[in-house]
């Protein structure tokens, strides 16, 4: 199974989701059966690591994002991934426009699909440290629900 998380620049929300799900998969003994990646709809940060505030907040909870590098989502991603999860409604619209008609992968809003109290993961980029903590709270909860679905699919 292959899962792709997508946000705007691939330096805050989607790399956080990638790191959180990777650790959950490792603890569940499923890391060798599920591939996880992240990408951005924009190209501003391609090749860069996640935002340092994202890394700091994630590391405080035991998630190491330091090896990740930003990439831009392409139409090919829809053929390569079974599940493409957008971090917010704006990115979902961009992905719907980019998605080829022959795409096999499912496309959805991450939080809406996994039972969160809101649909969109807020973008913490222009805010303070609290925003990065809020993003982690939302993503950790949704990843627990995603893990249940993964176990059911495997």
Whether 55 is catalytic: no
> What pLDDT is stored for residue 105 in this prediction?
85
Q: Consecutive sets of 10 residues in the chain, 154 residues long: mean pLDDT of each?
A: 98 98 97 98 97 97 97 96 97 97 92 89 93 96 97 95
Active site residue 7: yes
What predicted TM-score, i.e. pTM, was given to this entire model?
0.97
- The pairing of beta strand 2-7 with beta strand 83-86: parallel
Q: Which CATH architecture is the domain 2-153 placed in?
A: 3-Layer(aba) Sandwich (3.40)
Decide: helix, strand or coil at residue 35. Answer: strand
Residue 116: the pLDDT is: 72
Q: Which of 12, 13, 94, 120 is catalytic?
A: 13
Catalytic member of 7, 12, 55, 143: 7
Residues 63/38, Cβ–Cβ less than 8 Å: no
Residue 132 has which token pair?
Answer: 């990065």
Q: Where are the domains positioned within the chain?
A: 2-153
Give pLDDT, residue 63.
97
Find the catalytic residue in 12, 51, 123, 143: 123
123 tagged catalytic:
yes
SS3 annotation, 106-124 = EEEEHHHHCCCCCCCCCCC
H helical segments located in the chain: 13-27, 52-60, 75-80, 89-98, 110-113, 129-153
Q: Which residue, among 9, 44, 38, 7, has the nearest Cα to 21 in the 3D structure?
A: 38
pLDDT for the residue numbered 140: 97
- Alpha-carbon gap, residue 48 to 10, rounded angstroms: 9
């Amino acid at each position: 199974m292959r899962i792709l998380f997508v946000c705007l620049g691939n330096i805050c929300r989607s790399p956080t989701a990638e790191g959180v799900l990777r650790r959950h998969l490792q603890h569940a003994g499923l890391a060798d059966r599920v591939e996880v990646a992240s990408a951005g709809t924009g190209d501003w940060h391609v090749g860069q690591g996640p935002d340092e505030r994202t890394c700091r907040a994630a590391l405080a909870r035991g998630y190491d994002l330091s090896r990740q590098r930003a990439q831009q989502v392409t139409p090919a991603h829809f053929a390569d991934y079974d599940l493409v999860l957008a971090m917010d409604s704006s990115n979902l619209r961009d992905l719907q426009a980019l998605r080829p008609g022959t795409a096999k992968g499912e496309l959805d809003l991450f939080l809406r699909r996994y039972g969160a109290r809101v649909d969109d993961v807020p973008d913490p980029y222009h805010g303070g440290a609290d925003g990065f903590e809020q993003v982690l709270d939302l993503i950790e909860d949704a990843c627990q629900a995603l893990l249940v679905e993964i176990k059911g699919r495997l």
